[in-house]
Amino acid sequence: MNEPRSTLTPDFMGDLSRLEVHGHGPRSLTWWGLMGMIAIEGTAFLLAGATYLYLASQVPQWPPAKLPPAWLWGVVFSAVLLLSAVPNEWLKRQAEQESLRAVRIGLVLMSMIGLALCAVRYLEFTALRVSWSDSAYGSIVVVVLGLHTVHLVTDLIDTLVLAALMFTRHAYGRRFVDTAENAIYWNFVVLAWLPIYVLLYLVPRWLQS
Amino acid sequence: MSLSAHSVSQPLGVHAEHIAFIWHAMLGACGLMYALLLGFLVMTLLRQHRSAPAGVELEKRIERTLILWVGLIVVGLCGLTLASFLTDRALVRAASEPQIALRVIGHQWWWQVEYVDADNSQNVRTANEIHLPVGAQVHIALSSDDVIHSFWVPNLNGKRDLIPGRSTEIRLQPLTTGRFRGFCAEFCGVQHAYMQFEVIVESAQEFAAWKARQLAGAVTPTDPLRQAGRDVFERAACPLCHAIAGTNAAASTGPDLSHFASRRLLAAGALTNTRDHLRAWLQNPQRVKPGNHMPVVDLPGRDMTALVAYLGSLQ
Amino acid sequence: MSAPRDGEDFDEASTAQQLTRTWATPRGWWGALATVDHKDIARRYLVTAGVFFVGAGMLAFVMRLQLSRAENTLIGPDLYNQLFTMHGTTMMFLFAVPVMQAVAIYLVPLIAGTRAIAFPRLTAFSYWIYVFGGVMVWVAFALNIGPDAGWFAYTPLSGPQYSPGKRVDFWAQMITYTEVSGLATAVSIVATILKMRAPGMSLSRMPLFLWAMLVTNLMVLFAMPAVMLASSFLIMDRLVGTHFFNAAEGGDALLWQHLFWFFGHPEVYIIFIPALGMVSSIVATAARRPIFAYPLMVLALIAISFMAFGLWVHHMFATGLPRLGNSFYTAASMAISLPSGVQIFCWIATLYLGKARFNVALLFVIGFIVIFVLGGLTGVMLASVPLDLQLHDTYFVVAHFHYVLIGGAVFPLIGAVYYWYPKVVGRLLSERLGKWNFWTLFIGFNVTFFPMHYLGLAGMPRRIYTYASGLGWDGLNLLATLGASLLGVGVLLLLVNMIRSARVGPLASPNPWEAGTLEWATTSPPPPYNFPHIPLVTADEPLWRERDHLSVMRGLRLDKRELVVTTVVEARADLREPVARPSLWPLLTAIATGGMFLASIFSPWAVVAGAAPIAVAMIGWFWPDQPPRADGEDPEP
């Protein structure tokens, strides 16, 4: 107490030097950061979906112009997105085994799939048959689809950056953790789409019949 | 008739009485819990001066007290929830048969009041003032022309919001005669403060007389000054927003002025309705009630005098 | 030769020297802008939040002056509406939430016994974006284009038709800034608490402070997206013509209220629960014993956090929603007072069973109990639908939430200032001035806000810039204004004490209060690396187990930034992960993001144009800057 700067004497009880310097899944710190982001964005998706249903419940006619989004591009997008889960899962496992060659292939493949999906998504926007400024229906449809697109693009950019890194001298240890976690995020983008698809394409048709 | 003490704790309507009951129940129960907790705190502070160490025995006793405390909170909350629920039910049942039906439309920043009768010719339109016969069961349909407002007369009932795109309802049943102040209770823009009104509760005869006068149509001026005032009114911008029965003015953007002089308040409570106040108001509405939507009426002094005389005669 | 690691190989002085070289933030402007030291960031957060607090307090005082007498013409309605909007907005978004997160940023790594916060660059980013948002809205206010639709910005009043101009846009984008900041910080704090606790600090012996911060920041993750979504809808309605809140085109005015209060009610607990952690720390130390019924306290925290999400409709009773639903919210709102009541009891019981040592920090805790409990009880009253219909939007509610927020959050916070100031600054605050500080605040607070209960009952609505004489409100309003002056003196005394003691206060030892948690195991103030060795926790209150010794682990690198990642439940040491070094990228990313938000007020195309700089800045942020080393270890990131 008298000596202001005195500290406690350390008693060494164990050794940390043999611990690994990175780990996959819940062992990794960034995995928890990723879960935090997914919690935030998942909540945003849920609330946007709740808004959609809330607005639908406030009006007699939904959609007001009786024109739900056209089928074609939504179906194409969903099919490609669902199928992409297969190479994505393969990529995740390869990343966890830290197999560089396979990870390079997987990242390039997923980048291409992502780019293709962005193109389909553009067509999907043109097939909504409503503008955000037409009505509250138009507003929420465009925003929900836009919200999902932001996630799609974000993950795509991340995939592209990782793919580039994997062909440089930075392709080692932690990059595999990053790749596996990026694949987990892609799974989130896929899973989040399913209820949105139901909301945007099926719910308006059910409400009309 | 003077203004009744404007207060929740002076219930003068059936609904407000029910709510005053739950208020007293809450005050009693919460006051007791507060006293108990503060008592424990004071005991703890006093105890610090004694040096008896806390043993296992004492810790056990505190554990038992905690269980008791939890029990007390649970019982108290259940009691209050039940009391609240029953009060709410009583509120739903009160004044369930409409004897008088009104429509109140909220505007930034005044109240449009319409008495709705099965016989359309019996409809009365006024503003910022509601007359009711004592004891009557009153249903008021609420809606808003612009933003969210809230209708509140503390002596008579709690509040109810007026929401654009929706219709809501509030019921009143005043128990004594008197004048009661009402407020907009939801922030609605610059002049939220002066979006007030008055409820005037009268005997059935007085109410009937008031209604008859309102139905009679606007006073037609007979002396030259007021006739000139009416001409000023019709020539100036007034008819763009206001209505006076029997003139060319039939707009409903602003309050109906057919019986303007019979009202006690001016500018939704910003002023009392005297000639001097009226003149001040007309000369510069923005000084009396900054931000309100009434434009400046730039009139020569003689025209202003005539206009004030005319409006002041619209009993 | 193998890399240098902490342990018996080096004496303590040499260990400290090497760790300082590795962990110290470089001096000069680059270091100042690039720092990722959680203590630097937290100090900035605290000072900035303090400035906003004083600013918002001054706005409140001007409002009190205006209301001190009937029909006062000191300020007009337009300015008054900006004042209360800025007061509420600043206090809620720029003071209360950030200040609580700032305390967490400073203390969580120290109490958890680790060297840094998880995601230090994200934490740095969160500070910059917070400052930008706060400064933007205050600059707008200074230019007389401050928001004026209330801190709650109800639609359609805040919509394009009834609030033309840019005022509400600044408000809505300020929300976006502060929520991005709050969410980023929350992710860092949650990860720190779950994954970086010192080995041995299992969940079952985690200090209540960490529990409180964990629960709070988890709540942030689920509550703040609601207001971000709402403010985005609002700004889209205003700027690109969507119709979310436009009843004429199928939108709905009440949608805003649902989304806002789905966030807004948990928000109150996001502000209040950290204070519970502070109170628990102060009480345990003062009583010199662990908190009574620790498991029950943890359960109560968790219960509050869940229930807080089920109460939002009690802000909307007057809108005329279905009655049966309302009764549910009455029951739920009342029920939340049970865990709160249990906690209050347990703190008093802890003091009762212990032998309390009185200091100013404890005085503020006692003030907290006296004030907060009263606010909690008026909260029970407001939970009742019928009674709420009378009291809603009156001064009774103003009194209620100031009792809850000042009593429940500011008093514990000031208690925390007295308690942790020596740790942060290295000097003790004056206890004598502290007593004056306490009594002026306590009396000033009650004189200001207690009369408002009566004013509400006497029918005085909120947010009115003036009132007529003769309604019976004059005297109490004047009294409240006098109380506010005393309250201002109290805040001034606190500032004087803090500024004076930083220079002339007695030097603080590492553990001046003889507390039991790990932040007191290191020097005051702590070195850049927090602890020379990572502590090994073998008891609930590690510092009470042995007086002069501390169990620690050896083996972390001295020449690079490293920390231990542990398992979530048991806190077993699992990984040695590298820690980010100082970097300008968080600042650049914040500038890119903030610039985009600001520009979006003036043109929606800014969102498109602004995306590229943000993407570039973020890629720069995450780009690794060194190739792997020959020894196979990761380089520093």
Pick among C381, C466, C474 to test the B interface (most B CBs inside 10 A) = C381
Per residue in B112-123, pLDDT (tens digit) is 999 998 888 889
How many angstroms separate the CA of residue A166 from the nearest CA in chain C? 12
- In this structure, the strands spanning B138-144 and B100-107 are parallel
Q: What is the mean pLDDT of residues C284-301?
A: 95
User: Which pLDDT score, from 0 to 100, does residue A66 have?
Assistant: 86
Contact between B77 and C335 using a beta-carbon 8 Å cutoff: yes
Contact between B26 and C327 using a beta-carbon 8 Å cutoff: no
Cβ proximity of C408 and C488 under 8 Å: no
* Chain A residue numbers touching C224 (CB-CB < 8 A): 40
User: Which pLDDT score, from 0 to 100, does residue B49 have?
Assistant: 64
Contact between B290 and C389 using a beta-carbon 8 Å cutoff: no
User: Which pLDDT score, from 0 to 100, does residue B55 have?
Assistant: 79
Cα separation, C116 vs C578, in Å, equals 10
Helix (H, G, I), strand (E, B) or coil at C563: strand
Strand order in the sheet with A9-15: A9-15, C549-554, C534-535
Search chain C and give the residue with CA nearest A64.
C250
Contact between C318 and B185 using a beta-carbon 8 Å cutoff: yes
Which residues 149-188 of chain A have a CB within 8 Å of chain C?
A: 157, 161, 165, 169-170, 172-175
* Facing residue for B161 by CB, picked from C156, C320, C470: C320
The distance in angstroms from the start CA to the end CA of chain C is: 23
* Facing residue for C247 by CB, picked from B80, B92, B165: B165
* Chain B residue numbers touching C385 (CB-CB < 8 A): 84, 88
Q: In the beta sheet, which residues pair with residue C562?
A: C578
Search chain B and give the residue with CA nearest C338.
B73
**Which amino acid appears at position C274 of this protein?**
P
Percent of chain C exceeding pLDDT 90 equals: 90
Percent of chain C exceeding pLDDT 70 equals: 98
DSSP C461: B
Q: Does A34 touch chain C (CB under 8 A)?
A: no
pLDDT for C636 beyond 50:
no
Contact between B69 and C342 using a beta-carbon 8 Å cutoff: yes
C40-to-C117, C428, C534 alpha-carbon distances in Å? 12, 20, 21
* Facing residue for C628 by CB, picked from A7, A143, A172: A172
**For residue A12, which of C204, C12, C116 has the smallest C-alpha distance?**
C12
Highest mean pLDDT among B152-161, B288-297, C318-327: B152-161
Pick among C252, C387, C392, C446 to test the B interface (most B CBs inside 10 A) = C387
Each as own residue / partner, the long-range contacts of residues C495-502 (CB below 8 Å, 24 or more positions apart, any chain) are C495/C54, C496/C433, C497/C429, C497/C430, C497/C433, C497/C434, C497/C437, C498/C417, C498/C421, C498/C429, C500/C430, C500/C433, C501/C421, C501/C425, C501/C427, C501/C428, C501/C429, C501/C430, C502/C425, C502/C427
pLDDT for C374 beyond 90:
yes
Search chain B and give the residue with CA nearest C356.
B48
Cβ proximity of C121 and C583 under 8 Å: yes
Radius of gyration (C-alpha) of chain C in whole angstroms: 25
Residues 6+ apart with CB under 8 A from B255: B110, B112, B126, B127, B128, B242
For B97, the token pair is 């048969």
pLDDT for C455 beyond 50:
yes
The distance in angstroms from the start CA to the end CA of chain B is: 18
pLDDT for C240 beyond 70:
yes
Per residue in C146-185, pLDDT (tens digit) is 999 999 999 999 999 999 999 999 999 999 999 999 999 9
**For residue B184, which of C89, C467, C71, C155 has the smallest C-alpha distance?**
C467
Contact between C258 and A17 using a beta-carbon 8 Å cutoff: no
User: Which pLDDT score, from 0 to 100, does residue A3 have?
Assistant: 43
**For residue B14, which of B201, B184, B185 has the smallest C-alpha distance?**
B201
Q: What is the mean pLDDT of residues B145-171?
A: 95
**For residue C471, which of B181, B270, B109 has the smallest C-alpha distance?**
B181
* Chain C residue numbers touching A18 (CB-CB < 8 A): 555
pLDDT for B171 beyond 90:
yes
Cβ proximity of C509 and C524 under 8 Å: yes
Per residue in C410-448, pLDDT (tens digit) is 999 999 999 999 999 999 999 999 999 999 999 999 999
Residues 6+ apart with CB under 8 A from C251: A55, A136, A139, C237, C243, C244, C245
Cβ proximity of B195 and B184 under 8 Å: yes
User: Which pLDDT score, from 0 to 100, does residue C633 have?
Assistant: 55
Each as own residue / partner, the long-range contacts of residues B112-118 (CB below 8 Å, 24 or more positions apart, any chain) are B112/B145, B112/B252, B112/B255, B112/B256, B113/B197, B115/B211, B116/B141
Per residue in C63-104, pLDDT (tens digit) is 999 999 999 999 999 999 999 999 999 999 999 999 999 999
Which residues 80-139 of chain A have a CB within 8 Å of chain C?
A: 132-139
Cα separation, A25 vs A30, in Å, equals 9
pLDDT for A4 beyond 50:
no
User: Which pLDDT score, from 0 to 100, does residue B50 have?
Assistant: 64
Contact between B6 and C334 using a beta-carbon 8 Å cutoff: no
* Chain C residue numbers touching B19 (CB-CB < 8 A): 386-387, 389-390
Search chain B and give the residue with CA nearest C473.
B6
> Is the ipTM of this structure higher than 0.90?
yes
Q: Where residue C546 falls among pLDDT bands split at 50, 70, 90?
A: confident
Cβ proximity of B92 and C327 under 8 Å: no
Tokens 């505190």 locate to: B62
Task: Find chains touching chain C: ≥3 CB pairs under 8 Å.
Answer: A, B
For B280, the token pair is 């001040």
Residues 6+ apart with CB under 8 A from A57: none
Q: Does A24 touch chain C (CB under 8 A)?
A: no
Nearest 10 degrees: Cα torsion C339, C344, C348, C353: 20
User: Which pLDDT score, from 0 to 100, does residue A209 have?
Assistant: 74
For B162, the token pair is 């007026």
Cα separation, C56 vs C395, in Å, equals 19
Residues 6+ apart with CB under 8 A from C606: C596, C599, C600
Q: What is the mean pLDDT of residues A136-156?
A: 96
User: Which pLDDT score, from 0 to 100, does residue A6 have?
Assistant: 55
pLDDT for C635 beyond 80:
no
Tokens 């703890």 locate to: B44
**Which amino acid appears at position C171 of this protein?**
W
Q: Minimum mean pLDDT among A76-80, A203-207, C37-41, C83-87: which range?
A: A203-207
pLDDT for A1 beyond 50:
no
Cα separation, A111 vs A93, in Å, equals 17
Residues 6+ apart with CB under 8 A from C193: C108, C112, C206, C210, C213, C214, C217
Cα separation, C194 vs C25, in Å, equals 26
Search chain B and give the residue with CA nearest C468.
B270
Task: Find chains touching chain B: ≥3 CB pairs under 8 Å.
Answer: C
Burial B81-120 (b: 16+ CB within 10 A, else e): bebbbebbebbeebbeeeebebbbbbbbbbbbbbbbeeee
Q: What is the mean pLDDT of residues B244-273?
A: 93
User: Which pLDDT score, from 0 to 100, does residue B51 have?
Assistant: 58
**For residue B287, which of B303, B271, B263 has the smallest C-alpha distance?**
B271
Cα separation, C461 vs B181, in Å, equals 12
* Facing residue for B88 by CB, picked from C150, C383, C385: C385
Per residue in C101-136, pLDDT (tens digit) is 999 999 999 999 999 999 999 999 999 999 999 999
User: Which pLDDT score, from 0 to 100, does residue C637 have?
Assistant: 42
Pick among C11, C125, C126, C249 to test the A interface (most A CBs inside 10 A) = C249
Task: Find chains touching chain A: ≥3 CB pairs under 8 Å.
Answer: C
How many angstroms separate the CA of residue B47 from the nearest CA in chain C? 7
How many angstroms separate the CA of residue B296 from the nearest CA in chain C? 18
Contact between C252 and B188 using a beta-carbon 8 Å cutoff: no
Contact between B26 and C369 using a beta-carbon 8 Å cutoff: no
Nearest 10 degrees: Cα torsion C497, C499, C504, C505: 50
- Centre a 10 Å sphere on the Cβ of residue C432 and count the other Cβ atoms it contains: 10
How many angstroms separate the CA of residue C184 from the nearest CA in chain A? 9
| Cβ pairs bridging B and C (under 8 Å) | 236
Cα separation, A22 vs C578, in Å, equals 9
Contact between A51 and C229 using a beta-carbon 8 Å cutoff: yes
Cα separation, C565 vs C195, in Å, equals 6
Q: Where residue C321 falls among pLDDT bands split at 50, 70, 90?
A: confident
Tokens 């208690």 locate to: C415
**For residue C415, which of C494, C524, C354 has the smallest C-alpha distance?**
C494
**Which amino acid appears at position C180 of this protein?**
V
* Facing residue for B164 by CB, picked from C156, C381, C470: C156
**What sign results for the dihedral spanned by CA atoms B268, B272, B275, B280?**
negative
Q: Where residue B297 falls among pLDDT bands split at 50, 70, 90?
A: confident
Search chain A and give the residue with CA nearest C118.
A29
Supply the DSSP string of B78-127, one letter for each residue: HHHHHHHHHHHHHHHHTT-S-SEEEEEEEETTEEEEEE--SSGGG-EEEE
* Facing residue for B147 by CB, picked from C156, C254, C344: C156
Cα separation, B195 vs C297, in Å, equals 47
Q: What is the mean pLDDT of residues A64-84?
A: 94
pLDDT for A85 beyond 90:
yes
Per residue in B60-80, pLDDT (tens digit) is 999 999 999 999 999 999 999
* Chain C residue numbers touching A169 (CB-CB < 8 A): 627-628
Q: Minimum mean pLDDT among A177-191, B288-302, C486-500: which range?
A: B288-302
| Cβ pairs bridging A and C (under 8 Å) | 220
Search chain C and give the residue with CA nearest B271.
C468
Cα separation, C335 vs B77, in Å, equals 7
User: Which pLDDT score, from 0 to 100, does residue B1 have?
Assistant: 54
pLDDT for C547 beyond 90:
no
Q: Does C190 touch chain A (CB under 8 A)?
A: yes
* Chain C residue numbers touching B166 (CB-CB < 8 A): 247, 253-254, 320
